[in-house]
Every structure is written in structure tokens, then in C-alpha cells.
């Protein structure tokens, strides 16, 4: 017997299995959060599958009492805040009648799918961890005291399209630490890039790496007071934790993927796949961080505001704190380089290049001082795979 969606027994009474109609409430909210999107997807898929089943059944059975019109009327008539409860057995009966199979077949199919998914994910987990272990082993015997910098392959307009990798590589050059590049394993144990291997140890996070190297090798860059260094640290945090989102949201969301071919040296198909994946990921992470809940216009305005603030802080100084660089210049430069050279078609890139002369000169100065080999570090040119920090820099 078929469940009638309009019978009271179907709703509210005999409560056992809450049907997620309460999400219709969320579904109707005028927000663009990732959760709403996922719920929309689930509901659309459920409705599509139901219609398909109804269609199949209808073509088999002309006395079919529940037609598509009824079902649609039920879904539409659910007011956004109501919660509909359905007895599990009713649902099973309903599915059984619709597709005309018995309990055994349904249970076997569901069980089969469940086991297949579990076995598949276990196998994937095992092969991932095997690959990761193999990749790490490869670096255990790397030369003593040479930093192996694992990061993304070279970009077209800048040596690295990750601002954090630009920051770290600039630091290694500034501190004259010998390093070698590895483009094959860009993602570290925390799932982020860049990371390093040093004397067999794997270390993640650009800032943790910089602090550690400075501590262990007694590196002091620039002769500045505690107070000045605190100001520079605040600027670095503004870059790492704030400007990052403005740059990322433009590149992977607002741009719609336009201009990526000017950045990455990759085939169009791979670029499209990468855009699709990172677009979803950045929406999720920006939503969780909070900035993703603002409108595009608001985020662009906030990004410009950071740039305006940076320009005021730099003023007429050569580097962040004065005539000589400090270690926080690495982050300052790493991020500004993304805006100056790697944000084609963006409002903040235009604003930066047209209106913030001191920041533009600053980027050129940093490039000239620490990246004399800039052009040869770009994709598609004769890039050197290893770089021994030269004393002449």
C-alpha cells in the first residue's frame, strides 16, 4: 500500500524517523552559505530521484494513486518552519511499492553500497599514507643544513603563486640560508604549502619555520627596537591572516577563474579542474573564517583598505621599518607581490598599480635586492631547481 502524503498518519503522529523537511526552512533562507547550498543540493536530488521513481512506476502501473502533482503539492505546501515526521516503515513500504522489490533486495543493495564505500575509502587511505611515507623517506638523506623547500611549481608572473611560499623563499634568501626546491610534494603534513625538510625533520607553516631558523641559527635581520619589531609583526599578521582572504577570494571565487591561465603554467583542462576544487574549498573556509559571509563588494573594499593602510605604514621608508629590511618584510613583500603581479583584472590589483606608488616602488626594491634571478625563476623559462643563497645578494 502506498503512503499518502496527505494522510495525518504520515505526518507528526507515529514519530520514529524525522524527515528533514525542517531544512526547507534553511533552504528558503536568502543566504549563500555553503550549508544552504549543500542542503539545496540534497533536496533537489531527493526530489529528482522521487520524480524518477514516480515516473518509472507510473509507466508500469496505471492505477497508481500518488502522482507527481500530489507530491509536488505536498512539498510546496510544507511551511518553512514545520517539521514533518515519517515512520521509517512507511518510508520503506513506500520505496518498496514504488520500485517493486522486496525487503531482502533493498537490504542487500544498501549493505552492498555501504561495504563498497567503506572498503574504497580504507584502500584510498592506505595508498595515500603509503605515498606520503614514501615521499617523506626520499628527503631523509638530504644534504646536512640545507633546507628543502617543498612548494608549488613556479608561476608565470611571480616565482611562486602562494604568498606564504614567496614569503618563506624570500626569507631564505634574506638570511642567506642554502636551500633546494621540491615541486613534487607541495602539501605538508598539515595539508598546506609551503613546508620544509631540514636534516631529516619535516616542519610545516612558514612562520613557525622562520622563527625556528632564526632561533637555531641566531639570525637577526635589521637592527630595530622591540617596539618597531612589534609594529612590523602586526603588519605581518594583517598580511598572513587578512589580506590572504582578499587575494584568495578574488583568485578562486570572484574572478570566475578568468586570468588563471596568466598565472599557472598548466593545461586548460587541469586549470579548470583545479579552479572547481579550490573554488569550493575557499568558499567553505572563508565562510568558516567569517569573511566569506560578506558581499564581494565589501570584501574588495576591505582588501583595498588593507593596501591603503600598508601604504600609510610604509610611507617614505625604503623597507617596512627603515633603510634596512627586517624579517617581516618577507611576508609584506610576499603578499604585495601577489597583488602587484598576480591579480590580473582585479579591482585591488588595479588600485595598487595605479594609486599606491610607494608600495609599487617597495616591491621593485625587494625584487631587485633579493630576487636578482627573478626572470629565470618564472615558469616556462630556464628556472634553476636549486638555489644556493649567494653572498652577493
Ligand X SMILES: N[C@@H](CCC(=O)N[C@@H](CS)C(=O)NCC(=O)O)C(=O)O
Cell triple for residue 14? Answer: 507515529
Q: Is 331 in the site for ligand X (CB under 6 A)?
A: no
Q: Which of 14, 36, 50, 207 binds ligand X (CB under 6 A)?
A: 207
Site map 172..191 versus ligand X, x via CB under 6 A: -------------------x
d(CA 251, CA 339): 10
As measured in angstroms, the least distance from the Cβ of 206 to ligand X is: 4
In the complex, least distance from residue 209 CB atom to ligand X, rounded to whole angstroms: 8
- Minimal distance in Å, beta carbon 266 to ligand X? 16
Least Å distance, CB 181 to ligand X, is 16
Name the segment binding ligand X (CB under 6 A); options: 6-14, 160-168, 346-354, 360-368.
160-168
Does 97 interact with ligand X (rule: CB under 6 A)? no
Tell whether residue 50 is a contact of ligand X (CB under 6 A): no
Q: Does 346 bind ligand X (CB under 6 A)?
A: no
Which position has the grid cell 613534487?
184
> Would you count residue 160 as binding ligand X (CB under 6 A)?
no
| 115-132 burial code (b ≥16 CB/10 A, e <16) | eeeeeeeeeeeeeeeeee
Nearer to ligand X, 334 or 349 (CB): 334
Inter-axis angle of helices 68-77 and 34-60, nearest 10: 150
Of 69 and 215, nearer to ligand X (C-beta) is 215
Cβ proximity to ligand X: between 285 and 353 the closer is: 285
DSSP β-ladder status, 179-182 and 147-150: parallel
Instruction: Please tell me the distance from the alpha carbon of residue 64 to that of residue 54, in angstroms, as a whole number.
Output: 9
Grid cell for residue 291: 569573511
**By CB under 6 A, residue 205 contacts ligand X:** yes
The site for ligand X, by CB under 6 A, has a size of: 10
Give the residue among 391, 380, 388, 390 at the shortest CA–CA distance from 159.
Answer: 380
206 makes contact with ligand X (CB under 6 A): yes
- Of the two residues 207 and 231, which places its CB atom closer to ligand X in the complex? 207
Would you say 5 or 333 has its CB closer to ligand X? 333
Q: Check if the beta carbon of residue 343 is closer than 8 Å to that of residue 250.
A: yes
Ranges assigned E (strand) in the chain = 17-18, 85-86, 147-150, 179-182, 195-198, 201-204, 386-387
Which residue bears the cell 500518488?
66
Please count the other Cβ atoms lying within 10 Å of the Cβ belonging to residue 295: 9
Residue 170 near ligand X by CB under 6 A: no
Q: What minimum distance in Å lies between the beta carbon of 244 and ligand X?
A: 7
* 180 beta partners: 148, 386
Chain residues that interact with ligand X, rule: CB under 6 A = 162-164, 191-193, 205-207, 281
Amino acid at each position: 500500500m502506498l503512503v499518502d502524503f496527505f494522510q495525518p498518519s504520515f505526518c507528526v503522529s507515529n514519530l520514529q524517523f524525522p524527515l528533514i523537511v525542517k531544512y526547507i526552512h534553511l533552504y528558503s533562507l536568502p543566504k549563500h552559505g555553503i550549508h544552504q547550498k549543500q542542503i539545496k543540493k540534497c533536496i533537489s536530488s531527493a526530489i529528482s530521484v522521487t520524480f524518477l521513481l514516480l515516473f518509472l512506476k507510473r509507466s508500469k502501473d496505471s492505477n497508481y494513486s500518488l502522482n507527481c502533482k500530489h507530491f509536488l503539492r505536498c512539498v510546496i505546501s510544507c511551511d518553512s518552519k514545520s517539521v514533518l515526521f515519517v515512520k521509517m516503515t512507511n518510508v520503506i513500504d513506500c520505496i518498496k511499492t514504488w520500485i517493486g522489490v522486496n525487503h531482502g533486495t533493498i537490504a542487500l543493495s544498501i549493505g552492498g553500497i555501504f561495504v563498497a564505500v567503506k572498503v574504497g575509502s580504507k584502500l584510498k587511505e592506505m595508498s595515500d599514507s603509503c605515498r606520503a611515507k614514501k615521499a617523506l623517506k626520499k628527503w631523509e638523506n638530504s644534504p646536512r643544513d640545507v633546507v628543502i623547500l617543498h612548494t608549488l611549481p613556479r608561476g608565470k608572473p611571480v616565482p611562486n603563486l602562494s604568498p606564504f611560499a614567496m614569503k618563506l623563499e624570500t626569507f631564505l634568501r634574506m638570511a642567506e640560508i642554502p636551500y633546494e626546491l621540491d615541486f613534487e610534494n607541495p602539501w605538508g603534513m598539515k595539508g598546506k604549502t609551503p613546508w620544509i625538510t631540514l636534516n631529516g625533520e619535516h616542519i610545516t607553516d612558514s612562520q613557525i619555520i622562520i622563527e625556528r631558523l632564526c632561533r637555531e641559527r641566531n639570525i637577526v635581520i635589521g637592527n630595530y627596537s622591540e617596539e618597531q619589531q612589534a609594529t612590523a609583526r602586526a603588519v605581518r599578521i594583517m598580511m598572513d591572516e587578512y589580506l590572504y582572504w582578499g587575494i584568495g577570494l578574488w583568485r578562486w571565487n570572484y574572478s570566475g577563474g578568468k586570468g588563471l591561465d596568466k598565472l599557472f603554467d598548466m593545461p586548460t583542462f587541469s586549470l579548470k579542474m583545479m579552479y572547481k576544487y579550490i573554488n569550493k574549498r575557499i568558499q567553505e573556509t572563508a565562510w568558516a573564517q567569517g569573511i566569506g559571509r560578506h558581499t564581494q563588494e565589501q570584501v574588495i573594499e576591505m582588501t583595498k583598505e588593507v593596501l591603503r593602510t600598508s601604504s600609510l605604514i610604509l610611507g617614505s621608508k625604503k623597507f617596512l621599518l627603515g633603510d634596512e629590511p627586517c624579517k617581516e618584510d618577507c611576508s609584506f613583500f610576499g603578499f604585495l607581490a601577489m597583488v602587484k603581479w598576480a591579480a590580473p583584472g582585479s579591482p585591488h590589483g588595479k588600485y595598487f598599480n595605479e594609486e599606491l606608488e610607494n608600495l609599487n616602488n617597495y616591491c621593485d626594491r625587494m625584487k631587485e635586492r633579493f630576487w636578482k634571478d627573478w626572470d629565470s625563476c618564472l615558469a616556462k623559462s630556464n628556472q634553476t631547481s636549486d638555489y644556493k643563497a649567494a653572498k652577493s645578494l
